[in-house]
Amino acid sequence: MNWNRLVGFYHVAKHGNFTKAAENVFVTQSALTHQIQALEAELGCLLFERIGKRKILLTAAGKRLFAFPCQRPDACPPFRISRNGRFVLEYDSYESFG
């Protein structure tokens, strides 16, 4: 999971606007749009509902991701969003917890 994509997602969700979010993360609006599309592809679900050219709303999956407690890259476990919008943590079965 790319941390920059998660940061971009957070700012878009927070501001409700790609242009304002892009300014906050110091990238172009186009670059941020591509990051969000890549994150949506990686998670296998839409995070935003686009209404017209400027209005966006969080989908159910987007709301769950926005509420997910992941404050820094090393504290964010690997996860995906299932078809019903639930988070599924993905741990390797061979990982030891010693």
- From its phi and psi, is residue 27 left (phi > 0), alpha (psi between -120 and 50) or beta? beta
Q: 29-63 pLDDT, tens per residue? A: 999 999 999 999 988 889 999 888 778 999 988 88
pLDDT in the model for residue 48: 94
Q: Which residue has the higher pLDDT, 95 or 58?
A: 58
How do the domains of the chain map onto residue ranges? 3-89
d(CA 9, CA 95): 29
CA angle 90, 96, 98 (to 5 degrees): 130
* Third-level CATH fold of 3-89: Arc Repressor Mutant, subunit A (1.10.10)
pLDDT in the model for residue 20: 92
pTM value surpassing 0.75? no
Task: Please state the separation of Cα 31 from the chain's center in Å.
Answer: 14
